A and B are shown apart, each in its own frame.
Chain A
């Protein structure tokens, strides 16, 4: 009886440990998703402000006056880069949003369960399945999920850097209205903060995905071992398979 209890406790401990780790990963994805959403909204806000300045004739003539041809190039460049940043972040929001929705659902205890809420969880394997489905969907032979996340990271860095750099040129000019000037400074600082957060979380997500990519073949091996042993065999897994 004690042996059975110990086994059960061991299982519960494993589940608890995994549950805590998955919660941490989920939080990381949520922070990344939130920072991307904020970046997206701020970029949109910036575009609105930009259009307003252009329409009222405050930006382009000023830029051209101060920087000459460079001012016009900056205008075209910033509009293009900002547009690309919005598209790129929009794609990422959908990409990570889908994952978070499914992950959250997995980590919730089953509703309508008649059994009392014991310490056993139902969502550990579904969470792994969610990750696995994500891999199968986006990880192709040439462009693996790690590469895809690295590409996102590169574009986040590149476009974000350009926007922030070019933004400083616009800040130089300013506007006749104090309120617009203050708004631009606030947007600039927030853009900088959320851009930095999204880069940090991107690095961490990339590390997690590399780890998962190594894990899935091991889980396939687990299934193969399961297939091999008959009902009479004792359960003997290859201990060397562990990392």
Chain B
């Protein structure tokens, strides 16, 4: 899907987390995730198609924000990690 150096779960979870705190533009995400333009477009398209993030128009600027569904998915991701740390 994108950079061979990163797995899907890393990219998807990262974008969901970034768009959770505030609405983010594609440029902002591009800078923070250090992905190629084609890869970020493809990732955003995938996440929108799954209704995990939504596209919003803020002062004529397209921004992305994590949906409630996306939050649920991210929560599951966190609980997976949390469960492993709780193991003794």
A in complex with B: yes
A interface residues, Cβ below 8 angstroms from B:
4, 7-8, 10-11, 14-15, 17-18, 21, 110, 113-115, 118, 120-122, 124-126, 128-129, 132-133, 136, 211-212, 214-215, 218-220, 222-223, 226-227, 229-231, 235, 237, 241-243
Q: Are A14 and B7 in contact (CB under 8 A)?
A: no
Q: Contacts A14-B82, A129-B6, A231-B51 hold; do A222 and B77 have CB atoms under 8 A apart?
A: yes
Nearest CB in chain A: distance from B63 CB, A: 12
Interface majority SS (helix, strand, loop, mixed), chain B: helix
Which chain A residues border B83 with CB–CB below 8 Å?
242-243
Q: Contacts A11-B75, A129-B10, A223-B9 hold; do A211 and B81 have CB atoms under 8 A apart?
A: no
Number of residues from B at the complex interface, CB < 8 A: 38
Which chain B residues border A227 with CB–CB below 8 Å?
8
Question: Contacting A215 at CB < 8 Å: which of B7, B18, B21, B80?
Answer: B80
Which chain A residues border B79 with CB–CB below 8 Å?
14, 242
Question: Contacting A122 at CB < 8 Å: which of B10, B18, B51, B78?
Answer: B18
Interface majority SS (helix, strand, loop, mixed), chain A: helix
Which chain A residues border B69 with CB–CB below 8 Å?
235
B56 in the interface (beta carbon within 8 A): no
Q: Jot down 25 A-B pairs with beta carbons below 8 A, ordered by A.
A: A11-B71, A11-B78, A14-B75, A18-B82, A110-B21, A115-B21, A120-B21, A125-B10, A129-B14, A132-B10, A133-B6, A211-B85, A214-B84, A215-B80, A219-B9, A219-B13, A220-B7, A220-B9, A226-B73, A227-B8, A229-B50, A230-B50, A231-B50, A235-B69, A242-B83
Nearest CB in chain B: distance from A212 CB, A: 8
Q: Are B72 and A125 in contact (CB under 8 A)?
A: no
B44 in the interface (beta carbon within 8 A): no
In chain B, what residue has the closest Cβ to A219? B9
B20 in the interface (beta carbon within 8 A): yes
The CA of A181 and the CA of B33, in the complex, are separated in Å by 55
Which chain B residues border A120 with CB–CB below 8 Å?
20-21
B74 in the interface (beta carbon within 8 A): yes
Question: Contacting B73 at CB < 8 Å: which of A128, A212, A235?
Answer: A235
Nearest CB in chain B: distance from A213 CB, A: 10
